[in-house]
Chains A and B, each alone.
Chain A
Amino acid sequence: MTRIFITLVTTTLLALSFASVAQDEDPARAGTSAEKAAAAGASEARSREDFRAIDQEVQSLKKEVLDLNRDLFLLEEELLFPANSQVAFFVSLDVGEYFNLDSVNIKIDGKEVANYLYTEREADALMRGGVHRVHMANLKTGEHELIAVFVGKGPNVRDYRRGATITFDKGIGAKYVELEITDSVKKQQPEFAIKEWE
């Protein structure tokens, strides 16, 4: 009987001591988990900021590459086509109801220098008012002969091939030549002209 009583008392005491330890530990545990959550939140915010900074850096690098590419392109052009001997040829299309452009062939002084095929999209861009730089060359000062042959579909979707020629004088400084396709409502035909721009 005494033994049973002693066992009971010991068990109760042990249970009480465990309970007190548990009570002491609970707030501490709660404290650590809150701290952990706060730390996790802070690190997430930091990584988000880092990510944003990296993204900005990548964007600025991309911009720098694009700028560099543009500068190199301009530099290359300046070196290859010095302004003094430069001649640029442009193609423009006004209305284009009587002519569906397929290709333009350019000969300078009897030598073929460009043969450009126009896709549907490119021809459409020209019809919307776009101007296409079809060729760029370096020419000596003096007289030069230009022959432009326009190929496409004419009125009633017939195959159409027409040439235009001009003798132009290349002076000092850059020169711009426009190959212009227009509609002649009177003739119900397309017209081809070559214009010089100074």
Chain B
Amino acid sequence: MKLKNSLIALVFCVFAASSLAAGNMEGQQAPDFALKSSTGENLRLSEYRGDVVMINFWATWCGPCRQEMPHLDALYSRYQRVGFNLLGVNIDDDSGRAMDMIEDLGVNFPVLFDARKEVSELYDVSAMPVTVIVDREGTVRYVHHGYKPGYEDMYLDQIRSLLRE
């Protein structure tokens, strides 16, 4: 009887683990999207296949996003020439505010506007900021929810390891 119970528990654990893994995007193909950017051109994720891409979801009302952006910009400036790209996806309803903040912070990476929230829904963005790192094959490798000082070092390690692959 005991053995039967433990077997059931084991099966349940396996199912629970697999369902949790299914909820997580890591290891899955990054959903493709196209959005209008701050420069006016449309950018599509799949056109960056072959590069390591970081997708950073942010909003003007999010304090940690403001804190994180200069670090992300530094990463972009440093690794852009070796096959790294960064797409900042702003989810504000009003893109004007986002443009002001970009200018304010002097951000150089492309910022896309997802006013219809289609892309943030696609990536199941439930916190702010959310940072997704996609490898050269277009697979989601890392997903980070929120930001705390020091996360940029973790991003750096992950980007460097993906660039080396």
Q: List residues of A whose CB falls within 8 A of some B CB.
A: 102-103, 116-122
Cα of A120 to Cα of B39 in the assembled complex, Å: 12
Q: In angstroms, how far is the closest chain B Cβ from the Cβ of A65?
A: 14
Tell me which residues across on chain A come within 8 A of B41, comparing CB atoms: 119-120
Cα of A24 to Cα of B34 in the assembled complex, Å: 83
B44 is an interface residue with CB less than 8 A from chain A: yes
Nearest residue (CB) in A for B34 is A117
Cα of A20 to Cα of B47 in the assembled complex, Å: 79
Number of cross-chain contacts by CB at 8 Å: 20
Nearest residue (CB) in B for A120 is B41
Interface band, chain B: under 10
Tell me which residues across on chain A come within 8 A of B35, comparing CB atoms: 117
Q: In angstroms, how far is the closest chain B Cβ from the Cβ of A24?
A: 58
Q: In angstroms, how far is the closest chain B Cβ from the Cβ of A106?
A: 15
B36 is an interface residue with CB less than 8 A from chain A: yes
B42 is an interface residue with CB less than 8 A from chain A: yes
Tell me which residues across on chain B come within 8 A of A102, comparing CB atoms: 42
B125 is an interface residue with CB less than 8 A from chain A: no
Cα of A102 to Cα of B41 in the assembled complex, Å: 8
Docked-complex contact B36 and A119, CB < 8 angstroms: no
Cα of A118 to Cα of B34 in the assembled complex, Å: 8
